[in-house]
């Protein structure tokens, strides 16, 4: 629906409707529709496209964009994420443009300034908006701008661009003042009075007053201090700081290319080429993005760069965006600065009913302490302002689109409300009734503490409990694998490489107290030890899922945001990880380096070979189980002579050995061999059978030369099975 069409509908509904009752049009339908759409945009509901403008993100609906802008229409067909040239459209200008698209109104200069939360003199000029409208091919907005400029006697043609006559900034740039002075985090209305005044020309009333036109953006931060965030007014979903500056297009920063090359919609029919002149942006193949909940201010580690499929190794992250002083180092300060996150604090403050806590500068950034948070130390849980989107299911996999009702205006659920069907994210933290001043919350028990030190001390108690707990469990498991089985490797009885006095200890001197794994350096050990913590220190700020490693969490965040920096040269498919791309490229090259030694099947991906091998092994083991039940033999698994069938447990072991051997002998993956062995042991449900299979397995793991850890793991599994449900100790079954 274009706006002229909307106007026609409006007129027909409101005026001509009286004489054209036959049309049976609901008066104001189009207006209501637009209001609904804008309302949904502000909530991120059903938004299926993200527009990246410089370092700001905007969410919107493809249909609406396509209906309003010929240029955007050409883009949204192919992509779920659009990267606009910020030389042509600045974030502040695009915000106005987007507002216009969704409201049909163009804020005047004062409003623009308010919207940008910058000095009045630095607002996006009408000329900038006009230039952007022209660039984006929004005729209605162009006409409106021209009309207004003429009214002010400022209009002149922009042809030739660049210098921008008539007193307005060239090509969408709102002027240096704006760009420099608009740390977008300030773009959120900081005034406690609420959102900026509605367009003065037509002050909305009634339902329109509820329309927030500025809240669907995800704003990147400028250099401004994260801790100085002002809290957006409640009705305004927090502007979200997704800094895209860190990984600007790997070697492909949009700004490095001529506009004609980097902004044109992809041409799927054009063959890939290595020449920059024929560069084509591979079409995004992202699945439709789920409606993102309003995000807290946060800076992402990675942006989605305009892919440069023809440069570098599969789009490995390029250098930091030049000219941005707030590089990656700042990114994590943002992530770490959760206590200062406006939206977090905002929401928490509101939920605590403590307005005084708004706009407060939060200190004591625990998570920002070097080396990550202390044990279990997590800043007070703060969630995105209005969780209209998915809540914290505790499992990111459960992240789903919010339901229709939650996004519709019929459900004016409070911005701080939670989605029905989604667990309250605060509960994921075990939120206590009230933290009061106790901003440092122990996740496992939900107790709050006024200082990080006190929380730290409290957490220590948890840790001791955990260590005791894990120590016993792990010791039992280790004992099972080690105690009576004899040395599977010629290690003189040392179960693992890290055994005292052994070579392993020299190579990997840092041993985990909980599980006996050993590492080359203390950092890795520290990292590993976190896997034993009950408290996962790195929560996803979107869904609340918690992780033991920060990197895993940020990687997870990428999946929320559809950030896929690694693009395939050949097909444009994008991936969140380099490794995925490497795997994927084998599809195009036809390379299938993984071969099944049983059937000769070849596979492009190792995991599929392993899966395939499991099929072989499981089939044999299942057959063996059948044999145990009196069915006889292992269907499809030849015996040593290649003809007959094997009896259990010999059959089980033979299958395990066969499959493991195939992997191991090819030196492709001893771990995979171990995995197969371990899988096989799962079928040894009968302790007696397990015992009978155990020693051959132990010997075989040694023959395979598996890593000590893997071998121990395999053996311990078998040992557990052999120990049986009555918990007999394994040493009774030690081979002689």
Partner DNA sequence: CTGGGGAGGGGGCCC
Partner DNA sequence: CGGGCCCCCTCCCCA
User: Mapped to the 3 state alphabet, what secondary structure does 473-512 carry?
Assistant: HHHHHHHHHHCCCCCCCCCCCCCCCCCCCCHHHHHCCEEC
Burial, 302: exposed, middle or buried (Cβ in 10 Å; 0-12, 13-18, 19+)? buried
- Burial code (b: 16+ CB inside 10 Å, e: under 16) for 562-573 equals bbbbbbbbebbb
Q: How many CA atoms lie within 13 A of 336 on its CB side?
A: 22
Residues lying near DNA in the complex (CB under 7 A) are found at 246, 285-287, 301-302, 316-317, 328, 331-332, 372, 396-397, 508, 517, 519-520, 523-524, 527-528, 531, 545, 547-552, 554-556, 558-559, 564, 573-580, 582-584, 586-587, 592, 599, 601-608, 610-612, 615, 619, 669, 671-672, 674-675
**Minimum separation from the CB atom of position 276 to DNA (A):** 22
Contact 730, 485 (CB under 8 A): yes
DSSP-assigned letter for residue 442: E
**Whole-number Cα distances in Å, 539 to 70, 552, 643:** 41, 10, 56
- Output the smallest distance, CB 711 to DNA, in A: 13
Q: Let me know: does 628 contact 689? Beta carbons within 8 Å.
A: yes
Q: How far is the CB of 337 from DNA (least distance, A)?
A: 12
> Least distance (Å) from DNA to the CB of residue 301?
4
Q: Tokens in use for 385?
A: 């302002």
Nearer to DNA, 108 or 661 (CB): 661
Closest distance to DNA from the beta carbon of 518 (Å): 8
Closer residue to DNA (CB): 432 or 635: 635
Smallest distance, Å, CB 313 to DNA? Answer: 8
User: CB 591 → DNA: shortest distance, Å?
Assistant: 10
Nearer to DNA, 552 or 729 (CB): 552
C-beta contacts of 153-157 below 8 A and 24+ residues apart: 154/126, 154/127
3-state helix, strand, coil in the chain (%, to 5): 45, 5, 50
Specify the residue, 285 or 354, whose C-beta has the smaller distance to DNA: 285
Per the CB < 8 A criterion, the answer to whether 231 and 300 are in contact is no
Instruction: Count other C-beta atoms under 10 Å from residue 469's C-beta.
Output: 13
Measured CA to CA, the distance from residue 691 to residue 682 in angstroms comes to: 13
Nearer to DNA, 115 or 525 (CB): 525
Q: What backbone torsions phi and psi does residue 248 show, to the nearest 5 degrees?
A: -70, 155
Residues in the chain: 736
To the nearest whole angstrom, how small is the minimum distance from the Cβ of residue 555 to DNA? 6
**Smallest distance, DNA to C-beta of residue 582, A:** 6
Decide whether 70 or 473 has the Cβ nearer to DNA: 473
Nearer to DNA, 240 or 368 (CB): 368
Residue 447 or 645 having the CB closest to DNA? 645
Min dist CB 388 to DNA, Å, is 20
Q: Which is nearer to DNA, 692 or 709 (CB)?
A: 709
Q: Mapping DSSP to helix (H, G, I), strand (E, B) and coil, where does residue 539 land? A: strand
Decide if 126 contacts 109 (C-beta within 8 A).
Answer: yes
Nearer to DNA (CB atom), residue 156 or residue 587: 587
Cα of 57 vs its chain's centroid, Å: 15
Q: Which is nearer to DNA, 526 or 699 (CB)?
A: 526
Query: What backbone torsions phi and psi does residue 265 show, to the nearest 5 degrees?
Result: -65, 150
* Rounded least distance, CB 82 to DNA, Å: 18
Q: ∠ CA 185-417-434 to the nearest 5 degrees?
A: 85
């Amino acid at each position: 629906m274009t706006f002229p069409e909307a106007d026609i509908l409006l007129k027909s509904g409101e005026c001509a409707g009286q004489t054209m009752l036959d049309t049976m049009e609901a008066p104001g339908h189009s207006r209501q529709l637009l209001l609904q759409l804008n309302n949904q945009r502000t909530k991120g509901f059903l938004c299926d496209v993200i527009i990246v403008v410089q370092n700001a993100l905007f969410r919107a609906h493809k249909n609406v964009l396509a209906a309003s802008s010929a240029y955007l229409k050409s883009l949204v067909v192919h992509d779920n994420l659009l990267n606009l040239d910020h030389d042509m459209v600045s974030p502040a200008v695009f915000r106005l443009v987007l507002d216009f698209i969704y409201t049909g109104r163009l804020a005047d200069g004062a409003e623009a300034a308010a919207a940008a939360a910058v000095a009045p003199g630095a607002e996006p000029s009408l000329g900038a908006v006009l230039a952007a409208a022209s660039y984006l091919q929004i005729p209605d907005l162009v006409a409106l701008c021209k009309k207004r400029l003429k009214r002010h006697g400022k209009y002149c043609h922009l042809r030739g661009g660049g210098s921008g006559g008539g007193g307005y900034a060239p090509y969408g740039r709102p002027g240096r003042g704006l760009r420099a002075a608009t740390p977008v985090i300030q773009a959120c209305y900081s005034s406690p009075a609420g959102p900026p005044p509605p367009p003065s020309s037509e002050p909305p009333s009634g339902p329109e007053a509820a329309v927030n036109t500025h809240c669907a953006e995800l704003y990147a931060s400028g250099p401004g201090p994260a801790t100085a965030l002002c809290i957006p007014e409640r009705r305004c979903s927090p502007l979200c700081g997704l800094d895209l500056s860190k990984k600007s297009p790997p070697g492909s920063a949009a700004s490095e290319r001529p506009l004609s090359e980097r902004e044109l919609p992809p041409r799927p029919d054009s063959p890939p080429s290595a020449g920059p002149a024929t560069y084509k942006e591979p079409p995004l193949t992202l699945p439709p993005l789920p409606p993102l909940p309003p995000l807290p201010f946060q800076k992402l580690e990675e942006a989605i760069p305009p892919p440069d499929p023809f440069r570098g190794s599969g789009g490995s992250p390029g250098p930091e965006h030049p000219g941005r002083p707030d590089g990656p180092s700042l990114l994590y300060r943002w992530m770490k600065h959760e206590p200062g996150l406006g939206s977090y604090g905002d929401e928490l403050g509101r939920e605590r009913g403590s307005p005084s806590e708004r706009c407060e500068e939060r200190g004591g950034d625990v998570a920002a302490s070097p080396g990550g948070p202390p044990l279990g130390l997590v800043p007070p849980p703060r969630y995105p302002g209005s969780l209209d989107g998915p809540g914290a299911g505790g499992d990111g996999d459960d992240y789903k689109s919010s339901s229709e009702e939650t996004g519709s205006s019929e459900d004016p659920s409070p911005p701080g409300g939670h989605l029905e069907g989604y667990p309250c994210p605060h509960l994921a933290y075990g939120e206590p009734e009230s933290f009061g001043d106790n901003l440092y919350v122990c996740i496992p028990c939900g107790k709050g503490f006024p200082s990080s030190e006190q929380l730290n001390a409290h957490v220590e108690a948890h840790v001791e409990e955990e260590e005791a707990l894990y120590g016993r469990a792990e010791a039992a498991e280790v004992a099972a694998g080690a105690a009576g089985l004899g040395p599977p490797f010629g290690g003189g009885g040392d179960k693992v490489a890290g055994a005292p006095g052994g070579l392993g200890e020299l190579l990997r001197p840092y041993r985990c107290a909980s599980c006996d794994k050993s590492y080359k350096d203390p950092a890795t050990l520290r990292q590993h030890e976190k896997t034993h913590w009950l408290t996962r220190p790195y929560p996803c700020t979107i869904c609340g899922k918690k992780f033991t490693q920060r990197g895993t969490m940020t990687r997870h965040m990428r999946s929320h945001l559809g950030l896929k920096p690694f693009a395939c040269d050949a097909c444009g498919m994008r991936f969140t990880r380099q490794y995925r791309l490497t795997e994927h490229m084998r599809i195009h090259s036809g390379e299938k380096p993984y071969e099944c030694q049983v059937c000769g099947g070849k596979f492009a991906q190792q995991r599929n070979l392993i899966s395939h091998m499991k099929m072989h092994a499981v089939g044999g083991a299942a057959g063996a189980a059948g044999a145990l039940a009196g069915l006889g033999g292992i269907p499809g698994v030849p015996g040593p002579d290649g003809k007959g069938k094997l009896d259990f447990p010999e059959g089980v072991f033979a299958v395990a050995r066969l499959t493991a051997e195939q992997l191991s002998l090819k030196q492709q993956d001893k771990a995979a061999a171990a995995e197969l062995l371990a899988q096989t042991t799962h079928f040894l449900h009968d302790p007696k059978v397990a015992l009978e299979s155990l020693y051959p397995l132990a010997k075989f793991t040694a023959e395979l030369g598996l890593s000590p850890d893997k071998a121990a793991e395999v053996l311990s599994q078998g040992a557990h099975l052999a120990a049986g449900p009555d918990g007999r100790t394994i040493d009774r079954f030690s081979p002689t």
